[in-house]
Structure 1
Amino acid sequence: MRKASRFMPKYKPKRASKFTLFAFLTAVLALLIYHPIYLLALVGLVLLAIIWGYLEQPKIDRHFQHLRDNRKGLSICEFAREFDCKIVDTWIIRAVYEQLQATLPTKQLVPIQTSDDFFNTLKLDEDDLYLDLFEEIAQRTGRTLEDYQSNPYFGKVTTVRNLVLFFNHQARCEST
């Protein structure tokens, strides 16, 4: 019998290899030596992004505080009740809920609802969703991301409900 979802392992991020770090530092050094103006422009863009994020964060925090106030008393229990647990894997339900909370651009714990839109309500961008979140959920649930194009929810993952259903249609990895 499979363990209850509350005993599911936490996400373990992959560490960057020493080669990746070496390649990055080599590229920065080469840029510094051969094209210092480009490196200066890159540093300027990074600083501009940091300043922009610093100025935007209070607005984002107010948005999530408003969401949190409107959802007072909601938890993962109400989220899970939106799905038929005889059809939808409870590990997927928990992994989506927990990983979404960890990915939100705020430190506040905001109750997630199945109708939440990733871009407008949860303020996530496509990189957060497709590069980070998918990998994290797949790792925690033991689902593969292979052959995702044949998934009936491929291209339709705009809400949390569809994300859960997308992973429910993905095959389990052989090792789980």
Structure 2
Amino acid sequence: MHIEKAEMKDLDRVVEILRDGRNQLAESGIDQWQGDYPNVEHIQEDIEHGFAYLVHSDDHETVGAFAIVAAPDHSYDELDGKWLVDTDNYLVIHRVAIHSDHAGNGYASGLFTSVIDYVKENPNGVKSLRIDTHEDNKPMQHLIEKYGFTRVGTLHGVYRPEETSYVYEMPIQ
């Protein structure tokens, strides 16, 4: 498995992976991503700003996508909770999806391991990694906690008015 930055030529593939992720969530009864988030404009902005990444299998097939967004992330302006690290130097993992054709092959775990290891080995001033997920997305909550993130609070109505998300943080030492 390897990770690389997405380019504008990858837009359709990233959109396809995230739409598949939306469908997986719906099939699991999770009301995350069921509105207009994430949409094509979000993905275009991610690519233009260098935030979008692709996950590739060892045989170079694109199996997943995610974004790493640099601070400030205004999604967290209304955090109901308290950060472990009071800093403006953080990165946020957003919009993680592994295509259903490749689910269960360890790609999500590999993604987390790769991102965490890279940031820890090359902190460049980054003091923490942050991530959030829908209150009903138990599989993602499990994955986030498995990799050492601590739940620090909640967000209410950031992505959709009726939606609550759990927010996690991992200090980078």
TM-score between the two structures when normalised by the length of structure 2: 0.31
Higher Rg = 1
Name whichever structure is richer in helix by fraction: 1
TM-score between the two structures when normalised by the length of structure 1: 0.31
Name whichever structure is richer in strand by fraction: 2
